[in-house]
Structure 1
């Protein structure tokens, strides 16, 4: 017989790579939100689930159950085979640990395939995420990368993460770059998915002395950052990056690929067109229509993004204005210089700890 497993135990085994988690909800439920790293082996397709739901509401519970059994019986061999091919520990879940996951676990048990069933299902997992984010005491200091649009902050952070630094890529977790053009070429995440991904990163780095993030507003696309992270960011150590305009233009074209997303780029621009001086806005639109993306980006930076950034930066106060920027010509150079700055900060903090009373 199958065993129920708690969220805490499931997370422990997942963190050790000792558990495969399987979402048996429909593909659309899985796409809307799931436990990070899960795979989807649906008990019912979206169409089957809709049909059974209609029978449940309009005919009877018994009729719905009979139709569900009929559907499942026809595809049971293929369903079981998918589970049999997965090696190691397995845990299944549905919406609330009900019929779909219970039936799956029972059938697999009869076939000699042991699986765990998540107690309370996805609903319990979501409740755990919300409660944990709401009560989390996040101890690392936050180092915040600032810089004009196109400086390459996200690419720099990813390079630092590849080198083993504790980086949380907020834009990557949100599936959005944080601007009016931010969803182009990406699939933005909803709040449920973002919260789950963010919590995993926060728990992973909670014993580090610091984390690195990009300076983001409270909202990134469709999602909102938790208040405690906003406060940590505002009180954090700020690192200002400075890159030449031509590099920023190249970074933006490489990242957004406007030639591949011409219509989306034009539609996004039209949402901010009225905020730009009319002759400049007309020139930008003309460049977008003709494919002169480098010129369009250059104008957008000069007449829209840079003034907005300067206004936002002024809200950080005098201390921010006194920051010595890290200037660079390439992303590799930026990574090297930031590593030097991090070593300086580490030495400075070690010295401060040594001179503390009682240290």
Structure 2
């Protein structure tokens, strides 16, 4: 017989990389939000789930169950085989630990395949994630990278993370770069997915003396940052980056690839067109239509993004802008930021020892 498992026990096993978590909900439910790291082996397809739901509402519960059994019986061998091919510990879940996960676990048990079933399903996980974030007491200091659009903050953090630094890429977790163009070429995440991914990262680094993030507003695309993180961000320390405009333009073109998303880029620009002086706006639009994206980006930086950033950064006071980290290349940027972080750490007398796992 299968064994129910609590959120706490599941997280302990996940933290040890000692379990495969399997979402047996439909593909659309899985795509909307799931437990991070899960794989999807759906009990019903979206169409089958919709059909059974209609029968349940319009006919009867018993008829819906009979139709569900009929559908599942035909594909049971292939369904079981997929689980049999997964080695090690396995845990299944559906929306609230009901029929789909219980039936899956029971059938697998009859076939000699042991699985855990998450008590309460995804709904219990979501409740745990929300409550944990709401009551989070974040002990690491938050070191914040600032800089004009195109400075390469995300790339710098990516390279530092590859070196083992405790980095949380908020834009990556949101699936959005934070600007009007930020969702182009990316899959934006909803709040449920963002919360789950953010919580994973925070718990991974919870014993670190500091965490590195990029300066972001409260909202990134579709998601909102939790209040505790905003408060920690405001407490600093803050690092200001300065790069030549040519490098910034090159960074933006490499990240956004407007030539591959010409129509969406133009549509995004037209949403902010009215905020830019008319002759400049016309030149930007003409440059985009002629695929002279380097010129369009240069003008957007000079007449839209840089003035907006200057206003935003003014809230940090004059001292903030007195000692920026200046660089000519991204390699130099990483080197200088890394050195600055080491100096901050040395001054505080602490040493980073990245802890993995979420248990």
Same-fold status (TM-score > 0.5):
yes
Q: Which moved more, 1:42-51 or 1:8-17?
A: 8-17
Task: Give the secondary-structure state (helix, strand or coil) at the position aligned to 2:230.
Answer: helix
Deviation at 1:317, TM superposition (A): 2.2
Deviation at 1:321, TM superposition (A): 3.3
Unaligned 5+ residue runs, structure 2? 351-359
Equivalent position of 2:134 in the other structure? 134
Map 1:167-316 → 2, pairs under 5 A? 167-316=167-316
Q: Residues of 2 paired with 1:346 and 1:272: CA distance?
A: 41
Equivalent pair of 2:141/2:211 in contact (CA under 8 Å): yes
Q: Residues of 2 paired with 1:26 and 1:116: CA distance?
A: 19
Equivalent position of 1:339 in the other structure? 338
Q: Which moved more, 1:52-61 or 1:7-16?
A: 7-16
Deviation at 1:332, TM superposition (A): 1.1
Q: Residues of 2 paired with 1:307 and 1:109: CA distance?
A: 63
1:62 aligns with 2:62: yes
Equivalent position of 1:357 in the other structure? none
Equivalent position of 1:326 in the other structure? 325
Q: Residues of 2 paired with 1:213 and 1:63: CA distance?
A: 53
Q: Residues of 1 paired with 2:334 and 2:272: CA distance?
A: 33
| CA-to-aligned-CA distance 1:296-338 (integer Å, 9 cap, x gap) | 000000000000000000112233233x111111111111111
Task: Give the secondary-structure state (helix, strand or coil) at the position aligned to 2:260.
Answer: coil
Equivalent position of 2:46 in the other structure? 46
* TM-score normalised by length of structure 1: 0.97
Q: For the aligned residues, what is the CA RMSD? A: 0.8
Deviation at 1:212, TM superposition (A): 0.4
Q: Which has the higher contact order (CA 8 A, sep 6+)?
A: 2
Equivalent pair of 2:287/2:293 in contact (CA under 8 Å): yes
Deviation at 1:61, TM superposition (A): 0.4
Task: Give the secondary-structure state (helix, strand or coil) at the position aligned to 2:310.
Answer: helix
Q: Residues of 1 paired with 2:26 and 2:265: CA distance?
A: 33
Q: Residues of 2 paired with 1:254 and 1:169: CA distance?
A: 18
Q: Residues of 1 paired with 2:43 and 2:346: CA distance?
A: 55
Q: Residues of 2 paired with 1:318 and 1:2: CA distance?
A: 63
* TM-score normalised by length of structure 2: 0.97
Deviation at 1:346, TM superposition (A): 1.3
Task: Give the secondary-structure state (helix, strand or coil) at the position aligned to 1:150.
Answer: coil
Deviation at 1:349, TM superposition (A): 1.1
Q: Residues of 2 paired with 1:326 and 1:152: CA distance?
A: 12
Q: Residues of 2 paired with 1:330 and 1:105: CA distance?
A: 55
Equivalent pair of 2:96/2:123 in contact (CA under 8 Å): yes
